[in-house]
Amino acid sequence: MPGILTFDALKEAVKDGSIDTVLACFPDMQGRLMGKRFHGVNFVESSFKETHCCNYLLATDLEMATPGGYAASSWAGGYGDYIMAPDLSSIRLLPWLEGTAMVLCDILDHHTHASVPHAPREMLKSQIARLKKLGFDAMMATELEFFLFEKSFDEIRKGGFANLTPISGYNEDYAILQTTKEEHVMRPIRNHLFGAGLPIENSKGEAETGQEELNIRYADALACADHHTIAKQGVKEIAWQQGHAASFLPKWHHDKVGSSSHVHQSLWKGGQPAFYDKKSDLCMSKLMQNYMAGLIHYAPDYTFFLAPYINSYKRFAKGTFAPTKTVWSVDNRTAGFRLCGDGTKGIRVECRIGGSDLNPYLAQAAMLAAGIKGIEEKMPLAPPTTGDVYEDAMAQDIPQTLRAATETLRNSIFLRAAFGDAVVDHYTRCATWEQEEFDRVVTDWEIARGFERA
Per the structure, how many domains does the chain have? 2
Is position 451 within any domain? no
Are 52 and 160 contained in the same domain? no
Question: Which of 93, 116, 139 delimits the end of a domain?
Answer: 116
Angle 51-57-59 (CA atoms, 0-180°, nearest 5)?
145
> What span, in angstroms and rounded, lies between the C-alpha atoms of 323 and 336?
5
Are 88 and 235 contained in the same domain? no
Residue 59: closest CA among 103, 120, 104: 120
Using only C-alpha atoms, the chain has a radius of gyration, in whole angstroms, of 22
Is position 122 within any domain? no
The pLDDT assigned to 289 comes to 97
Are 275 and 161 contained in the same domain? yes
Report how far apart, in Å, the C-alpha atoms of 453 and of each of 442, 443, 447, 449, 450 are. Answer: 16, 16, 10, 7, 5
CB-based burial, 20-59: b 16+ in 10 Å, e otherwise = ebbbbbbbbbbbbbbbeebebeebbeebbeebebebbbbb
The crossing angle, in degrees rounded to 10, of helices 299-306 and 421-439 is: 60
What range defines the domain where residue 257 resides? Answer: 128-445
Are 164 and 95 contained in the same domain? no
β-bridge mates for residue 82, sequence order: 53, 109
Are 301 and 430 contained in the same domain? yes
Is position 453 within any domain? no
pLDDT tens track of the chain, all 454 residues? 578 999 999 999 999 999 999 999 999 999 999 999 999 999 999 999 999 999 999 999 999 999 999 999 888 888 999 999 999 999 999 999 999 999 999 999 999 999 999 999 999 999 999 999 999 999 999 999 999 999 999 999 999 999 999 999 999 999 999 999 999 999 999 999 999 999 999 999 999 999 999 999 999 999 999 999 999 999 999 999 999 999 999 999 999 999 999 999 999 999 999 999 999 989 999 999 999 999 999 999 999 999 999 999 999 888 787 888 888 999 888 889 999 999 999 999 999 999 999 999 999 999 999 999 999 999 999 999 888 878 777 778 889 999 999 999 999 999 999 999 999 999 999 999 999 999 999 999 999 999 999 9
The pLDDT assigned to 1 comes to 55
Are 80 and 153 contained in the same domain? no
Is position 95 within any domain? yes
Are 274 and 352 contained in the same domain? yes
> What span, in angstroms and rounded, lies between the C-alpha atoms of 352 and 258?
12
Are 322 and 405 contained in the same domain? yes
Is position 222 within any domain? yes
Q: Strands (DSSP E) along 55-166, which ranges?
A: 81-86, 92-93, 100-109, 137-149
Question: Phi first, then psi: what are they for 189, rounded to 5°?
Answer: -60, -50
| List of residues 6+ apart from 442 with CB closer than 8 A | none
Question: Which of 116, 138, 170 delimits the end of a domain?
Answer: 116
**CATH number of the CATH domain containing 50:** 3.10.20.70
Is position 332 within any domain? yes
> What span, in angstroms and rounded, lies between the C-alpha atoms of 396 and 394?
7
Is position 253 within any domain? yes
Are 97 and 244 contained in the same domain? no
> What span, in angstroms and rounded, lies between the C-alpha atoms of 242 and 217?
26
Is position 163 within any domain? yes
